[in-house]
Structure 1
Amino acid sequence: MPVTDSSQNGGSQNNGTPFGRDADANGQKGPIIPKSPTEALRPEKVPEPPRRSRKARSQLVIFLNFVMTMIVFVMVAAVATFFYVMNSFQEPGPLQTNTNFTVREGAGLAEIANSLERNGIVSDARIFRYVTQTYKRDARRDSLKAGEYEIKAGASMKEIMELLQSGKSILYAVSLPEGLTVKQMFARLAADPNLVGDLPAELPPEGSLRPDTYKFSRGTTRAEIVSQMIASQQRLVEQIWEKRDPDLPIQTIEEFVTLASIVEKETGQADERAHVASVFINRLNKGMRLQSDPTIIYGLFGGDGKPSDRPIYRSDIRKETPYNTYVIRGLPPGPIANPGRAALEAVAHPWKTDDLYFVADGTGGHAFAQTLEQHNANVRRWREIEAERRETPEATLDEAPEVDPDAANN
């Protein structure tokens, strides 16, 4: 059988290689190409996943761009809003003239902010409320305090907030001078329009209220002022009583206040009080009646005081009352007024004199005497002054003496 050349008849050949054939493009195995040792050790490539289409990539980019744009917009809007709010909070307000603004006790921030806007003090209640609320979260800052405040024209919200936080409200004052009785002091407190609330139903003891000028903010109650007066007088009396002269003929702190109230009513001149006190101390030491005219008035009219158009008659001097020191010996049963510091100090540290008498000298003061003869001469001079005043057409009833000169400490 003739031998056929495989290279010519399409038979199998290995091109000089022993490894057979690789598949060709039609699925037929072609010749196997040997790999070098380096290529054999190199890892084969992992097939790449199918790529997204260009359309899908475009939608994702658009979404991300939208999100970023919104984030930037929100941040810009937030910054702009913050600067607007803070600028509004710190810029001058709409108030044209100074005005008073009252924060009631227990008022909340929303109520205060709305009231400020309603009264034309701030331009936007929400800005005031939100920013103030932010400040209030700071533990170092105080909340808004009740009271009445004077707000200046053009005040910014920040200035208003700081003012209401400070509690520096408008202060009013009620003056209660020395020598008034408890009833008279209560009448002044009741008439003050800036105080609120009722007075205590029960009057405190005579002499227990401290005469002074009391400052308070709107909304303060009358009972609060009374409590301050009682506490202040108690401290004052105890301090002065502890440092009194050791040889006083006074046994108790109640007697001390009683004598001070008599000295208070006898003279309105500060430099005379210790001199007047010495006269009463000398009389107590000698067992003499004090013969003080203000005790007659208190015995007749009590805490209401003598009517201004009523003189003291001889019959009043002889009338027996627990307070009339022309009738009783020693001190009356209690004070006849509320003494101040000067009168208390005068009784605690009286002058060292031998005087036993005094009478008005026509100048607002008194003439003092050691003997009855000297005193009677002083009384005669006072009568002459009184007669001259009554003859003067310009003289008024208030300028005429209230006490019969015959009864003046003799």
Structure 2
Amino acid sequence: MFARHIAANALTLIGVLSFAGVAVVAWGKKQYEAPGPLAQAICLRVEGGADMKDVADTLEAQRAVSTRAIFAAGAQYSGRAHLLKAGSFLVPAGASMQDINEIVTGSGRSTCGTEINYRIGILRAKVEVNELDPETSRYVEVVSFNPAEDDVPAAYTEMRDDPSVRYRITMAQGITSWQIVEALNNADFLSGEIAEVPAEGTLAPLGEDVRVGMDRNELIAQMVADQERVLAEAWEARAEGLPYANAQEALIMASIIEKETGVGSERPMVASVFVNRLNQGIRLQTDPTVIYGITQGKGSLGRGIRQSELRRETPWNTYVIDGLPPTPIANPGKAAIEAALNPDDTDFIFFVADGTGGHAFARTLQEHNANVAKWREIEAQRAEEAAAAGN
């Protein structure tokens, strides 16, 4: 009887403990998934070789978690603890411990801290060192320089080899292949040597993160593959009745469109003008092709086009030759390629700058001459204002 009483009490105790254990687990799970105490976003730095306990300590010190033990236990229980990545990660205000666990075990791509952005533009390239402000989620420039011309700042040298730094290359659309190769060769965080300049138009302008030490030829191959894919998809979805014998001619047209306007919404309209001119047997008469015939894509002209150059015959001078030039004059982006293959349906055959950064379009020479006269007035007024400001 006594033994049965002891056994009954033991079973009761086990039941109570089991119930309590389930309750504790349920409470811990609720805490793990609930919004956290973080009042403002932070940039969480995870050092190489750190483990979840180290991360838990840092989070507790920054008051991003209520209980470090629950964070560490939750990470282990989720099976993601071994996926911890080194880097700098943006943790938003109110992030739960579960959210933070997924942030630090995800792609490993740094989302805050320092970003080194290599911007390759039409006229120049520059390296920007930026720091993310966690409170505003905006990058603030620390320093910038032209790697081809300027001394390398100490601020760049000090953080260049930091494994948590995020590297990005951003290229302007309409940049030439020569300019791309020159700029990539000046990027000291890349490796390898580009043996020759790729054919004009074959490179899709980059705008993405890159790895430190990435081979330059790997980047070039990626850009070629991307451009081939974009062109193939646009060619497949092209409008009917276009004056192109093949996709290469569409790429040539896209490069001209890219160089003629920096206003994205205008690309299909500009494309319609050039398509109409081709269909009517009118020469394209576009200045960027003349410039390419002079520079061969090796940098900018740096001055206005001379009348003698407008009359000089080169394979790219569309004031002299009929139809399209033999090659693209730059590397167009996706939007310009799509515009070349799906232009607006208009009867415009002229356009000229309108003083706003865009263009005025015309159907007749009389309309066009009136638009040109307005543009000349704007140019003269700006020249007067510049002269007055100089005095």
Superposition TM-score tier, normalisation by shorter sequence: 0.5 to 0.7
What corresponds to 1:290 in structure 2?
A: 284
Partner amino acid, structure 2, of 1:378: N
Alpha-carbon separation, structure 1, partners of 2:248 and 2:371: 33
Q: How many residues get paired? A: 264
What corresponds to 2:87 in structure 1?
A: 149
1:206 aligns with 2:200: yes
What corresponds to 1:232 in structure 2?
A: 226
Give runs of ≥4 in structure 1 deviating > 4 Å: 97-101, 139-145, 162-167, 394-397
With over 3 angstroms needed to count, the CA separation of the structure-2 counterparts of 1:169 and 1:395, relative to structure 1, is farther
Over the aligned positions, Cα root-mean-square deviation in angstroms equals: 3.5
Q: Tell whether the 8 Å contact from 1:174 to 1:189 is kept in structure 2 after alignment.
A: no
Mapping of residues 106-145 of structure 1, within 5 Å: none
With over 3 angstroms needed to count, the CA separation of the structure-2 counterparts of 1:354 and 1:163, relative to structure 1, is closer
String of CA shifts for 1:279-338, please: whole Å, max 9, x gaps: 100110011110010000000001213243x22111111111100100100000010001
Mapping of residues 141-220 of structure 1, within 5 Å: 149-150=87-88, 168-170=108-110, 171-193=166-188, 195-220=189-214
1:304 aligns with 2:313: no
With over 3 angstroms needed to count, the CA separation of the structure-2 counterparts of 1:225 and 1:376, relative to structure 1, is same
SS of 1:299 mapped into structure 2: helix
1:268 aligns with 2:265: no
Alpha-carbon separation, structure 2, partners of 1:260 and 1:396: 39
Instruction: Quote how far apart the aligned CAs of 1:179 are.
Output: 0.6
Partner amino acid, structure 2, of 1:315: S
Q: Tell whether the 8 Å contact from 1:186 to 1:199 is kept in structure 2 after alignment.
A: no
Alpha-carbon separation, structure 1, partners of 2:89 and 2:274: 54
What corresponds to 2:365 in structure 1?
A: 372
String of CA shifts for 1:241-260, please: whole Å, max 9, x gaps: 10001210111111010000
Partner amino acid, structure 1, of 2:203: L
SS of 1:197 mapped into structure 2: coil
Greater radius of gyration (CA): 1
With over 3 angstroms needed to count, the CA separation of the structure-2 counterparts of 1:396 and 1:255, relative to structure 1, is farther
Question: Where does structure 1 lack aligned partners over 5 or more consecutive residues?
Answer: 1-96, 104-111, 114-120, 122-138, 153-161, 398-410
Instruction: Quote how far apart the aligned CAs of 1:352 are.
Output: 1.0
Alpha-carbon separation, structure 1, partners of 2:80 and 2:354: 63
Question: Where does structure 2 lack aligned partners over 5 or more consecutive residues?
Answer: 1-42, 51-57, 59-78, 91-101, 111-165
Q: Tell whether the 8 Å contact from 2:89 to 2:104 is kept in structure 1 after alignment.
A: no
SS of 1:180 mapped into structure 2: coil
Q: Tell whether the 8 Å contact from 2:80 to 2:105 is kept in structure 1 after alignment.
A: no
Q: Percent identity?
A: 47
Alpha-carbon separation, structure 2, partners of 1:143 and 1:230: 33
Alpha-carbon separation, structure 2, partners of 1:333 and 1:312: 21
SS of 1:303 mapped into structure 2: coil
Given the two structures, how large is their TM-score scaled by the length of structure 2? 0.60
1:242 aligns with 2:236: yes
1:334 aligns with 2:327: yes
Alpha-carbon separation, structure 1, partners of 2:351 and 2:388: 24
Alpha-carbon separation, structure 1, partners of 2:225 and 2:312: 36
Partner amino acid, structure 2, of 1:335: P
Given the two structures, how large is their TM-score scaled by the length of structure 1? 0.57
